[in-house]
């Protein structure tokens, strides 16, 4: 990346719009679907900060239409954003029915999960387990494409294990079945999140398909994004765990590329950060209710501390992550993040 691109004077390819079916995505820096993480408050913040697209948390196809509050919340989206829903399953008819339901509910893009490495998902022979069944993966795409009028996309890993990188073949089958965008995380399922993402290996998928390609894995900074593009030949990048404790990460990359000039700026001062975390925490309590919201928010609070207030005394961290009282949580958040600079200087 040139100095001009770093300063935002010359837009990089990431700042350009991307067509996915009939949808114009404002820029090419996306927020990944992360179960238990990229919920409505997180996605709303990622989009407000300038992410071009934010994919909803994975929803298991068999649960779609049941009306449970948790799965309904997974599919909520901020007004004005492209509504992209990710589905997981292995039964073509069930996936098709779930996709029809989501389309009727307002989904504008349906993403199919061939990449989740979690044992509870692969144990049901879904997610990245489907990379061991290319023909079934292709039938799933075909069934969903036939069921809906909106664009269908797919997210996968390099393969199941080392020496079995079949993402190019599965991507080719998916595109032949009608998929209009492919996202590849540069690890195998057996790696989970160990080692470094292999962006170069994603280049084989670029050679296999002509639809938009998104590279994912270990992208945290603008420099990471530009290097991932260069090595993979992808058209866009997706930020996943790099957004832990900083929902603005994708937007910051988009801003560095020359996009998202009207986006919300990240909270760069201590009072702003304290207020930001308090607001995020409150939004989660509002969405889930106090009891469930406090439980869901703890992981986010821990990531905010790890990233922005690592010198927080253990007893203060414990107090924040164990309190059940919203008002006490707000006071502790203010104490942790407003005083973080002083703690860092004293360390």
Close Cβ partners of 287 (under 8 Å, ≥ 6 residues apart): 39, 40, 41, 73, 293
Q: Grade residue 180 by pLDDT with cuts at 50, 70 and 90.
A: very high
Q: Grade residue 340 by pLDDT with cuts at 50, 70 and 90.
A: low
pLDDT at 179 over 60: yes
Both tokens assigned to 325: 């009282």
Average pLDDT for 116-121:
93
Both tokens assigned to 211: 């639809």
Q: Please give the model's pTM, rounded to 2 decimal places.
A: 0.93
pLDDT value of residue 65: 74
Domain at 3-257: CATH architecture: Alpha-Beta Barrel (3.20)
Q: Which residue in the block uniquely carries the two structure tokens 């408050």?
A: 41
pLDDT value of residue 4: 36
pLDDT at 18 over 50: yes
Indicate left, alpha or beta for 333 from its phi (over 0: left) and psi (-120 to 50: alpha): alpha
Q: How far apart are CA 165 and CA 190, in angstroms?
A: 11
Q: How far apart are CA 266 and CA 249, in angstroms?
A: 9
Catalytic residue among 102, 116, 190, 210: 116
Annotation marks residue 116 as catalytic:
yes
In this predicted model, what pLDDT tens digit does every residue of 296-337 receive, in sequence order?
Answer: 999 999 999 999 999 999 999 999 999 999 999 999 999 999
29, 257 Cβ separation under 8 angstroms: yes
Q: Which residue has the higher pLDDT, 43 or 76?
A: 43
pLDDT at 128 over 60: yes
pLDDT value of residue 11: 67
Q: How far apart are CA 211 and CA 57, in angstroms?
A: 23
Q: How far apart are CA 297 and CA 70, in angstroms?
A: 15
Average pLDDT, the chain: 92
pLDDT at 7 over 60: no
């Amino acid at each position: 990346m040139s100095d001009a691109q770093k300063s935002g004077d010359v837009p990089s390819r990431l700042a350009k719009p991307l067509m996915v079916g009939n949808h114009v995505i404002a820029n090419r820096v996306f927020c990944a679907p992360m179960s238990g993480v990229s919920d409505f408050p997180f996605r709303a913040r990622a989009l407000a900060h300038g992410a071009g697209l934010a994919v909803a948390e994975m929803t298991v196809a068999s649960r779609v239409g049941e009306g449970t509050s948790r799965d309904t919340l997974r599919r909520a989206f901020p007004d004005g954003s492209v509504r992209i829903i990710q589905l997981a399953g292995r039964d073509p008819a069930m996936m098709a029915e779930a996709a029809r339901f989501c389309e009727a509910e307002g989904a504008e893009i349906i993403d199919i999960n061939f990449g989740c490495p979690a044992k509870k998902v692969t144990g049901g022979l879904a997610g990245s387990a489907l990379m061991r069944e290319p023909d079934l993966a292709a039938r799933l795409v075909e069934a969903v494409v036939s069921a809906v009028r909106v664009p269908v996309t797919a997210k996968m890993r390099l393969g199941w294990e080392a020496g079995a990188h079949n993402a190019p073949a599965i991507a080719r089958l998916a595109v032949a079945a009608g998929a209009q965008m492919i996202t590849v995380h540069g690890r195998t399922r057996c790696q989970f999140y160990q080692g470094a993402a292999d962006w170069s290996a994603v280049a084989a998928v670029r050679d296999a398909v002509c639809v938009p390609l998104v590279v994912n894995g270990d992208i945290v900074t603008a420099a990471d994004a530009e290097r991932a593009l260069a090595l993979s030949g992808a058209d866009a990048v997706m930020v996943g765990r790099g957004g832990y404790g900083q929902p603005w990460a994708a937007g910051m990359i988009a801003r560095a590329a020359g996009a998202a000039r009207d986006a919300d700026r990240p909270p760069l001062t201590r009072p702003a950060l304290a207020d930001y975390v308090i607001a995020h925490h409150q939004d989660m309590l509002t969405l889930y209710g106090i009891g469930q919201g406090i439980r869901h928010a703890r992981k986010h609070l821990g990531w905010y501390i790890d990233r922005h207030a690592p010198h927080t005394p253990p007893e203060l961290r414990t107090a924040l992550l164990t309190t059940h009282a919203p008002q006490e949580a707000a006071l502790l958040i203010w104490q942790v993040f407003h005083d973080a600079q002083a703690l860092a200087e004293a360390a």
